[in-house]
Amino acid sequence: MIALLACALALPLPPAERFRFPAVRLDTSPTVVLLPEPGSGLVSAQWLFDTGAADDAPEEFGAAHLVEHLAFGDIGAEGAADYDERLGHLGGLSDGWTDRERAGIGATIPAADARSGADLFGLELARMRTLVVSGGSLTRQRAVITEELAETHDAAHGLDRVWLSRLLWSGGEPWSRHPASPPQEAIAAGAAMARWTRLLENGVLVLAGDFDAAELRALVEAALPAGRRPSPRTEGELGQPGCEPAAPATSWTRGNGNRGSVLVAWPVPGRGHRDRVALEALARWVGGARVSVGAGCGEWVAERTDAWLALPHHRASIVRALREVAARGLDAAVLDRVRAEAVADQARAFSSLPLRARVAAGCVLAGRAPDCAADEVQAWLDLTGEKLAGAAARWLPAEAVTTLAVLPPGTRFAPLIPGVREWSAP
């Protein structure tokens, strides 16, 4: 096994050029990107919006997720065929998602004939122009969202996960309105429709797959007015409102299982920062860690699950390991493995037409060319141990960590980390 791993690490990584798109960005409103892939046998339409749950006003708590659902509603008139019904006639499937920073909706159909690209664009054009948002559609989609959340809560450790999500981002903007929260918005149909219109004006639609690019370009430019490139969000810095690190603390609640879990979290800079790739590499190296970055700020979170008495050890071991990386960097072989895993994940994403389309949309939203994925791969190829050490020292110091824990029911609480402030959830 070791020999096989060594051989795998010795293989050359794919060049960044492999990750360039044959894409064309059209100057329309909303912005449209064409990603022709003759012979793929599919056509995909993927929207990406640079707004999410973090943009909900307090009285609209949950509106971003609700508007995502409304986008699949009736088209043309109330009670008419909805988006998914029309898509079904084309043999397609749809999906949608909302996180704190962004939202996306998409559809993919088989390329049955030369008209498939035009047919799918026609469906998206109808959604842009004649989507119906009414009191009835609001009621229906609120019920769907409530059911989704009930399924989350019923999952193993579901309540623990919801509690941890709320707690991690409860200290201030933008994380206080996490999409896992139950719908509490009081948004009316008119306001929901206005929000959908704003999404379209600032969104990106990528049409990817098996179509004639020249023909589809002419169709899009004839149907949509001239537009402008979406303005990417201004990158913030830690210390600005909404990006302040939480005070180091131990937070805990009683869980719903026989095992405990501990999370250690640090505030980190946003997605445009030069240290982002290094922070993601450190998360891969630690294992059980993730980096969530927005336009202005984000968080680096590592999780360990075990018998609750071992939780302090897990927290201490993570902090110690990151402190050692900050002092010495990573072993060259380990760094090679981390880089290879990251580039392999990018390559796997590129095996899916809808994901390639969403990556292209993300590039445009970031104010970069539709093929900026190649730059992302190059950043991984250029990653060094020195860059990792610098990022660990700057953003993951022991004195800035917040510890969160879930304990099994019936345990008697004692401070998990000596000398750290206690906070208990109800």
State whether 171 and 276 are in the same domain.
no
Residues 217 and 254 in one domain: no
pTM of the predicted model as reported, rounded to 2 decimal places: 0.84
The DSSP bridge pattern shows strands 93-98 and 103-110 to be antiparallel
Q: Are 56 and 94 contained in the same domain?
A: yes
Does residue 254 share a domain with residue 173? no
Residue 241 lies in a domain: no
Q: What is the pLDDT of residue 176?
A: 34
Give the per-residue pLDDT at 290: 85
CA distance 330 to 254: 37
Looking at the domain assignment, is residue 129 inside a domain?
yes
Helix (H) or strand (E) holding 32: strand 31-36
What pLDDT is stored for residue 155 in this prediction? 52
Compute the distance between CA of residue 326 and CA of residue 330 in angstroms, rounded to an integer: 9
Task: Give helix then strand counts, H and E, for the chain.
Answer: 14, 12
DSSP assignment of 225-283: -B--PPPPPPP--BTBTT-PPPPP-EEEEE-SSSSEEEEEEEEEE-TTSTTHHHHHHHH
Predicted local confidence at residue 9, as pLDDT: 44
Query: Which ranges of the chain have pLDDT less than 70?
Result: 1-12, 58, 152-184, 229-259, 295-296, 307-309, 407-426
What CATH number has the domain bearing residue 127? 3.30.830.10
| One domain, residues 312 and 369 | yes
**Same-domain pairing of 169 and 287:** no
The verdict on 336 and 187 lying in the same domain is no
State which of 223, 241, 276 marks the end of a domain.
Answer: 223
Give me the helices (H) in 27-115, please.
Answer: 63-70, 83-89
Distance from C-alpha of 339 to C-alpha of 369, rounded to nearest angstrom:
24
Helices 373-381 and 276-286, packing angle to 10 deg: 60
Q: Structurally, how many domains does the chain consist of?
A: 2
Residues 376 and 339 in one domain: yes
Distance CA 2, CA 127 (A): 54
Closest CA to 90 of 209, 191, 181: 209
Burial of 106 (C-beta count, 10 Å sphere; 0-12/13-18/19+): buried
Q: Identify the bridge partners of residue 44 per DSSP, sorted by sequence position.
A: 108, 208
Distance of CA 28 to the CA centre of its chain: 26
Domain membership of residue 269 as a residue range: 250-424
Q: Which two tokens stand for residue 121?
A: 């664009």
For residue 115, the 8-state DSSP code is T
SS3 377: helix
Q: Does 188 fall in a domain?
A: yes
Residue 303's DSSP bridge partners are 263
Burial 52-69 (b: 16+ CB within 10 A, else e): bbbbbeeebbbbbbbbbb
